Each structure stands twice: as C-alpha cells, then as structure tokens.
Amino acid sequence: MLVLTRKTNQSIMIGDEVEVSVLAVSRDKIRLGITAPREVPVFRKEVYLSIQEERNSAQQGAAAPNGGAKKRVDDALDDISGD
C-alpha cells in the first residue's frame, strides 16, 4: 500500500487519466473528488463488494433456469458506468 499525505486542494494521479483530489477535511472525514474517464467504473468499496457478490451469485446460478440473472447484473452495471 502506498501512503501519501495531501492537503485540501491537492491531488494524486493514478495512471494518466484518473485524478483523486482532496476537496475538504473535517475531523474524521475527508471529501474526495475523482476525475476519471466514463469507461472507468468508480464505486465506494462497499458498493463494489456488493456488485461482486451479485456477479458471483449470478455466475453460480447461470447453469440454473434463472441463468439470465448475470446478464441483468452486467446490464445494470453497464447502465451505471455509462456504457
């Protein structure tokens, strides 16, 4: 893990296209701004883990009669990410 110190209005770059900016700091919370291309999905970790759980469930159920669940999850993710 890389650990960096940044102040308000400072940023870090991830690759050439993703910028993470510190917008505000107050007590135990920080506000981050993330600028990334539309094709790069950006989620809070708990949302990402929930999506992964749904994908895994859908993949396990793909052999079952309700195998279209994975496609519905993937389609929903495409809608969220703007694809």
Residue pLDDT, tens place only, 12-62: 999 999 999 999 999 999 999 999 999 999 999 999 999 999 989 888 876
Q: Which of the four pLDDT bands, split at 50, 70 and 90, describes residue 73?
A: confident
Note the pLDDT of residue 35. Answer: 97
Q: Tell me the chain's radius of gyration from C-alpha atoms.
A: 17
> Structure tokens of 39?
């094709």
Q: How far apart are CA 78 and CA 42, in angstroms?
A: 12
